[in-house]
Each structure stands twice: as C-alpha cells, then as structure tokens.
C-alpha cells in the first residue's frame, strides 16, 4: 500500500473527512517570512551523499523538487529560471559554440541551451548524480537535453573542474544552489576570477545572484566582486513564484558584449523558440530594475 495512503487512512474514518490530510511544506527566510505550500503527496524522499532530495506533489505548483529543504523547480513555474539563465546570454553572444554549465542538476538549463543550433558542445558539471537521476524520473521534460549528442555531463565538484580545465568557453553558466554548503565557494571572487580566465576573449558568464529583496548583503558583495573582474556587469531579473520574494536575479558578466545593444533580435525571430517565459520583450525588460535595486547596486 502507498505510504501516503496508509498515513491518510489513519485519520480518515468517515466520508467527507479527506481535509484531515493536513501536511504542509514550509520554507522560511531567517525564520521570519516565507512560502507555505500544502502537500498532496510525498512522491519520493531520499538522501544522497551530499544532500536530502525530496519530490512532493502539491495542488498549487504540481510536482516540486526540494534540495536540502529549499525548493528548486516545479511543474508550474513557467520554466522562468532556466529560460532566462540560458537564452539571455545565448542571444547576446554572436557565436556561442562552447558552453559550460556549473551545477544545474535538474538539467533544465542544459535543455534550454540545446535549443540553439549554434552550440557545438555543452558540458554540464554537476556534483550530485542523484539529482540528475531524480529529475530524469520525475521531471523528464527538464532532462530532454541529455539526449542531445552535443551534451555531456560530468559528475565533479564545479570548483575543481574549472580550476583544472584546459578548455576555453564562449559561455559559462553558473546554475548554483544557495551560497551555503558545497556551493559556498562558487560565489567567491576567486572562483569568478577563475571563470573569467576560462572564458574566450569575448566570453560571457551568467550566474544566478539570489533575491535582491531578501539577500541584499549577499547581492551587494557579489556585484562588487564581479565589477572588479568583468568590464560589463548587469543585473536582470525574473519572476519565480517558488523562490523567496518571487523576484530572482541573474548577473550578466561579459568581457565585451552588452546584453541590450548586442541582443540579436533577428536570430531570436528566426529560431522561433517555444518558451513559456522568455521572449524578446522579456529579454529587454528584464534589465529594467526597480529603484531599490538600483540603489542597492550603487
């Protein structure tokens, strides 16, 4: 018998009492505010060598993936994070042939990168193999890019991988979890300098850069460090309903290209992507920041 049904049957003895299945997921920021979601079913809960991995079924967001107690992806987030992380730099760089993704275990970013025929090779370096296997099982639409012969997955620590790499890249995408635990080193200035050194002379790095509302000290430090390394540093944002505050940011860092002036609208129109969030207007509008963020980044 399904373990969820066993638990539920312990409490439901009469018709019409299904509402006594009252299980909730809660994710708080500093213990003061956060997101609460009612759970319909616990799909899978496992522990890898590195972290706890939970897949939960909810009424509001469909299936959700939680790593170490933080929501990562869900069925109903419009794929905003993956599309914005991948397509913004891909439509700015004129010849994005070699791409490296650090992190990205759910494979959503990899799948979006593979939609671009200009890309010749894309390597995803992910620490935790079990995250990839869990995504393949429960979020197969996110992992379609794994079937592309141009894609390669390496299961290694991202910091060690890039420090030892001899290849150079047109794009490096940092699809990282929060700056705690194993990912903490990947938010430091020394790591960003290593990324800069692995980029070609006209290379672009994009990194997720946390919530500009909740994580202001972290955001301020990240952008201060990046501006000491890259000639072009711009923040852009997207709406992510399962992330703290719903407003999420990305750091566009380039050796040469401007994300607005060098946006290739013709290539965008020709490719005719099937996206749920990203489009040409969103690309341009995402760099228009509210005043409180402008003040934060000064």
Domains of the chain, earliest start first? 3-74 (2.30.140.10), 80-296 (3.40.50.150)
Rounded to 10 degrees, the C-alpha dihedral 124/234/112/214 comes to 80
CA–CA dist 45, 140 (Å, integer): 18
Structure-block tokens of residue 249: 């940011």
Give 138's contacts (C-beta < 8 A, 6+ positions apart): 43, 44, 55, 63, 65
Whether the predicted pLDDT of 8 surpasses 60: no
CA–CA dist 232, 256 (Å, integer): 7
pLDDT value of residue 5? 52
CA–CA dist 86, 93 (Å, integer): 11
Rg (the chain; Cα; Å): 20
Instruction: Say if residues 84 and 236 touch (Cβ distance below 8 Å).
Output: yes
pLDDT value of residue 190? 85
For residue 4, name the pLDDT band (cuts at 50, 70, 90).
low
pLDDT value of residue 255? 98
- Give the residue carrying structure tokens 């960003």: 192
Give 79's contacts (C-beta < 8 A, 6+ positions apart): 108, 112, 275, 276, 277
pLDDT value of residue 233? 98
For residue 188, name the pLDDT band (cuts at 50, 70, 90).
confident
The closest of 236, 212, 251, 240 to 284, measured between CA atoms, is: 236
pLDDT value of residue 21? 74
Whether the predicted pLDDT of 204 surpasses 70: yes
- Give the residue carrying structure tokens 């290694």: 156
Catalytic residues: 175
For residue 181, name the pLDDT band (cuts at 50, 70, 90).
very low
For residue 22, name the pLDDT band (cuts at 50, 70, 90).
confident
pTM of the model: 0.90
Whether the predicted pLDDT of 257 surpasses 80: yes
pLDDT value of residue 13? 41
pLDDT value of residue 189? 83
User: Average pLDDT of 174-183?
Assistant: 64
Whether the predicted pLDDT of 258 surpasses 50: yes
pLDDT value of residue 179? 53
For residue 119, name the pLDDT band (cuts at 50, 70, 90).
very high
Q: How is the beta sheet containing 98-103 ordered, strand by strand? A: 151-155, 121-126, 98-103, 169-175, 199-208, 247-254, 232-239
For residue 185, name the pLDDT band (cuts at 50, 70, 90).
low
Question: What are residue 153's phi and psi, to 5 degrees?
Answer: -115, 130
């Amino acid at each position: 018998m399904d373990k969820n049904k066993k638990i539920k049957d312990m409490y439901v003895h009469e018709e019409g009492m299904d509402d006594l299945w009252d299980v909730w997921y809660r994710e708080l920021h500093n213990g003061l505010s956060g997101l609460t979601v009612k759970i319909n079913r616990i799909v899978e809960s496992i522990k890898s060598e590195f972290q706890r991995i939970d897949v939960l079924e909810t009424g509001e967001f469909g299936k959700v993936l939680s790593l170490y107690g933080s929501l990562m992806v869900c069925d109903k987030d419009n794929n905003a994070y993956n599309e914005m992380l991948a397509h913004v730099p891909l439509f700015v760089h004129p010849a994005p042939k070699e791409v490296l993704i650090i992190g990205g275990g759910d494979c959503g970013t990899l799948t979006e990168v593979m939609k671009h025929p200009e890309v010749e090779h894309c390597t995803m370096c992910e620490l935790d193999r079990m995250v990839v296997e869990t995504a393949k099982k429960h979020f197969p639409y996110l992992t379609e890019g794994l079937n592309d012969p141009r894609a390669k997955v390496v299961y290694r620590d991202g910091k060690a991988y890039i420090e030892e790499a001899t290849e150079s890249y047109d794009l490096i995408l940092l699809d990282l979890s929060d700056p705690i635990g194993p990912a903490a080193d990947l938010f430091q200035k020394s790591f960003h300098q290593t990324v800069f050194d692995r980029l070609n002379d006209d290379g672009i790095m994009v990194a997720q850069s946390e919530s500009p509302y909740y994580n202001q000290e972290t955001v301020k430090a990240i952008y201060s460090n990046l501006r000491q390394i890259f000639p072009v540093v711009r923040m852009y944002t997207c709406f992510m309903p399962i992330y703290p505050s719903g407003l999420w940011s990305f750091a566009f860092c380039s050796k040469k290209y401007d994300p607005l002036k060098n946006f290739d609208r013709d290539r965008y129109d020709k490719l005719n992507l099937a996206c749920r969030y990203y489009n040409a207007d969103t690309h341009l509008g995402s760099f228009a920041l509210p005043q409180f963020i402008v003040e934060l980044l000064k």
